[in-house]
Structure 1
């Protein structure tokens, strides 16, 4: 007799925990448990001249032309991260018929604000120009990120000067998705983040909440209620409130079981029982009208 889902889930969690105890990193464990038969990946595409300015494209195995597209930015306090660590995100989106673009960007100490945002804008511009070659529809273009990557997505969607520099506009986006994002974090408390934003002279224009306007793209904001790294009430709740006041379509969701880190991990197959984050992301993309 097949075991009930909760027993299977506990077995998977137990396997992940044992792997972590053996010294494996969490993302390597999740990626090891990620199937590879749902997508075709083209890796290491350069969107700029710097070695960090590269991206991977995950195309659904049976993709039809005109699929929606998500450009994903990972977190890491703007001083760490690698797109290869988030293969489980690419697989999750591709398994639901979405073309996923996972982009690296330059990190501190190589660069500071706003250079990594300029990288993000270049990655988005590359995607818009080339994604038809990968069965994607540039008219159904979404941004998505986790933690500091959610900040990147927010800034690109809200600060029009960033996309304007690459010949685009936030109006070219159908929407954006933020997972556990910091959108209003001055004065900066995290010592790892302070030098990224020139603390103690961090510019107010570095904050997404200060760029909200009526014409901003629709947003889906998701947070963990027990997030101790990025305050969900101030950041997700505060930005959602300001977007609503500006007349921007926004949905904010909060889940009790994930943490700041495991919120993005719920996109992986082993941890989807923690919260229906992937289902909510897919529903948002399917029900948000094309640009």
Structure 2
């Protein structure tokens, strides 16, 4: 397998050398950058037991962003004892939310078929992302448990629900109802932008139901780890999501910083120089180990 150095970016300074980097793997087969993913794995002896898999989607308001600046973040998680998949996907305004979910679904299909070759266990998968990427991860998780949602986006989930062990949300927006609040930081044009034909002829609140993971929770939904702060644009949406999970008796672990924590602006988790980010990494590693434990061999 081809291994290269981590991409140079301000977030990728001082690369972690205990991790192996397999970069820019084509998960669709069309040669496009938007359909590339990276696999990061801790260096281990041949024949070591398979590790849980953490699949990550970058943020960027659904319109921008790239996996490369997240390399150091993903390497930090790999060093915690997991295989990390860091993926790109198509974005607006050229594409809609359905295309992003179809790409995310294709990433999961690639993982299910190939991750064992990198030391990962395809039956122990945790999805995650920051901001818009967290939203995509949450919708993919919900679609695995809700056939109506999967049908809406024309996807056939390739990973069995029992193999999706957890969901990580960094400053995500799992509740689209907040976009209808007066004065919210994002306008309703973001809802329209993500819909086919800019939502013409659609009732936006009805359409937003299919865009809101909070609307698709059931008792089978896996445990969730939410990190947010009062400085996060989507703070209220995160609190709503946490409340909904607890109301349904779904395990939710939280790391919430107050406004006095100046390093916790939206998607601060990407910058490893902050002690608050290091706390996210420590807690995330513990979360993955708890929800996707090593299988105990039968006696």
Given the two structures, how large is their TM-score scaled by the length of structure 1?
A: 0.81
The more displaced of 256-265 and 114-123 is 256-265
CA RMSD of aligned residues (A): 2.3
Partner SS, residue 44 of structure 2: coil
C-alpha distance 35-276 of structure 1, shift in aligned 2 (>3 A): same
Match of 1:184 in 2: 175
The answer to whether the aligner puts 1:248 opposite 2:250 as a matched pair is: yes
Match of 2:4 in 1: none
Match of 1:109 in 2: 93
Partner SS, residue 118 of structure 1: helix
Match of 1:28 in 2: 9
Please give the per-residue CA displacement for 1:134-193, whole angstroms capped at 9, x wherever unaligned.
Answer: 011112211110011110111111123449614333332011110111011234552572
Q: How does 1:233-272 map to 2 (within 5 A)?
A: 233=236, 235-256=237-258, 257=261, 258-266=263-271, 268=272, 270-272=273-275
The answer to whether the aligner puts 1:53 opposite 2:53 as a matched pair is: no
Please say if residues 164 and 222 of structure 2, whose CA atoms lie closer than 8 Å, have aligned partners that are also in contact. yes
Q: How does 1:1-291 map to 2 (within 5 A)?
A: 28-31=9-12, 33-50=13-30, 51=32, 52-62=34-44, 64-160=48-144, 161=147, 162=150, 165-186=156-177, 187=179, 190-191=186-187, 193-194=190-191, 195-197=193-195, 198=198, 201-202=203-204, 203=207, 204-227=209-232, 229-230=233-234, 232-233=235-236, 235-256=237-258, 257=261, 258-266=263-271, 268=272, 270-273=273-276, 276-290=279-293
Shift of 1:117: 1.0
Which runs of no fewer than 5 residues in structure 1 stay unpaired?
A: 1-26
How far apart, in 1, do the equivalents of 2:292 and 2:24 lie?
Answer: 31
Shift of 1:201: 4.2
Deviating above 4 A after TM superposition, structure 1's stretches of 4 or more consecutive aligned residues are none
Shift of 1:245: 1.8
How far apart, in 2, do the equivalents of 1:283 and 1:124 lie?
Answer: 23
